[in-house]
Amino acid sequence: MAVNGFRKLPSLASAARSVLPTRRPAARAGHTASAEGKVAGTGQLKRVSVEGNIAVGKSTFARLLQDAARGWEVVPEPVSKWQNVVADDAQFDGLGAQSPVSNLLQLMYEDPARWAYTFQTFSCTSRLSTQLRPPPPGRSPPVRVYERSVYSDRYIFALTMFELGFINAAEWAVYQNWHSFLVEQFGPRVQLEGIIYLRAPPEICMKRLHKRGRKEEKDIDLAYLQKLHAQHEKWLKDRKTRVHFEHLKRVPVLVLDAGLAFDRDAEVQRRFIEQVGTFFGDL
Ligand SMILES: Nc1ncnc2c1ncn2[C@@H]1O[C@H](COP(=O)(O)OP(=O)(O)OP(=O)(O)O)[C@@H](O)[C@H]1O
Ligand SMILES: Nc1nc(=O)c2ncn([C@H]3C[C@H](O)[C@@H](CO)O3)c2[nH]1
């Protein structure tokens, strides 16, 4: 039975109240070509994450960037890994694929008090491996754009799960120790040179979430999106979240108004690409 733990547990309610060939017309306008040149000229890989609330449009925006300039490579969030957790010793099906043992995303939404900690350890390691993955052969893109990062794993989601009581004090201490240790071990390889914050009211995210209709998310309520929104604002707009990595304290953040129709309005797309190009160029 899919009972939504986020609604069921009282702690939530109370806590929550308190680059490829240029293809698109926007890119053909010439903005990305010059922006791309600026970045490419530095000869150094820049790593940027796109952050924002659930369903704000990160994947949609990432596709826009991917299509905009040859030197921008988008690395998607590894959601399907969370939906299809495979054990190392899993059996192979007749077609040579490993059978998934569970859908951790669904478990986490159904019973967050039981699964939030497990989810955060898995989401974070899968993000780490995504961030460490080398570029495709023959391509050394000047800008890699990640959908979320090991930093939002901690400073948005794990922190929220702790504040809502779904991760207990012992689990939170273990997670933080483990996160700091791993991130410090990988050092510059998992650092970000910039962050793009797609910012929109939670009510808009709720509408988009319903429009997308991902089955695991069907019972997410507005209070949860409001809580995540406040966490994003504190970290990326007010810069009041206490972060534990020196480079992250100074990382430049580009805030974009994601309430706009950047999914279909060519003028908004052109403006966003131009702003992003300038931002990348300045990193
Ligand atoms: N600017 C926009 N205006 C209206 N609808 C949008 C906009 N951007 C995205 N959408 C729609 O909103 C839904 C969610 O978008 P998308 O999957 O890109 O979100 P996301 O931020 O990547 O989600 P998640 O947090 O789950 O990774 C999709 O149905 C998409 O078509
Ligand atoms: N608890 C939790 N921790 C995370 O680090 C995290 N990252 C993403 N998500 C959820 C949001 C979308 O439903 C879906 C796809 O983004 O996965 C997370 N949930």
- The residue contributing the CA closest to ligand 1 atom 29 is 212
Q: Of the ligands numbered here, which is closest to the C-alpha atom of 198?
A: 1
User: Which residues, listed in sequence order, are joined to residue 147 by a DSSP beta bridge?
Assistant: 50
Distance between CA atoms of residues 255 and 157, nearest Å: 19
Q: Of the ligands numbered here, which is closest to the C-alpha atom of 130?
A: 2
Q: Active-site residue 147, yes or no?
A: yes
Q: What is the CA radius of gyration of the chain?
A: 19
Give Cα 38 distance to the centre of its chain: 26
Query: ipTM, 2 decimals?
Result: 0.99
User: In tens digits, what is the pLDDT along the chain, a chain of 283 residues?
Assistant: 233 445 443 333 333 333 222 333 333 332 333 333 333 334 588 999 999 999 999 999 999 999 998 889 999 999 999 999 988 776 666 666 667 789 999 999 999 999 999 999 999 999 999 999 887 777 767 999 999 999 999 999 999 999 999 999 999 999 999 999 999 999 999 999 999 999 999 999 999 999 999 999 999 999 999 999 999 999 999 999 999 999 999 999 999 999 999 999 999 999 999 999 999 999 9
pTM comes to 0.87
| CB 56 within 8 Å of CB 201 | no
Pocket test of ligand 1: the residue of 65, 263, 269 to mutate, having most ligand atoms within 8 Å of its CB, is 263
Copy the structure tokens of residue 274.
């131009």
Q: Which atom of ligand 1 is nearest to the CA of 268?
A: 1
Helices (H), 75-216: 79-83, 104-110, 112-132, 150-152, 159-163, 169-186, 202-212
Sign of CA dihedral 134, 54, 105, 62: negative
**What is the whole-number distance in angstroms between the Cα of residue 54 and the centre of ligand 1?**
8
- pLDDT tens digits for range 128-145: 999 998 877 777 679 999
Binding residues for ATP: 52-60, 208-212, 260-262
- The residue contributing the CA closest to ligand 1 atom 28 is 212
Q: Is 193 in the pocket of ligand 2 (CB under 6 A)?
A: no
Which domains does the chain carry?
A: 5-86+97-282 (3.40.50.300)
Catalytic-role residue among 36, 110, 147, 274: 147
Q: Which atom of ligand 2 is nearest to the CA of 112?
A: 1
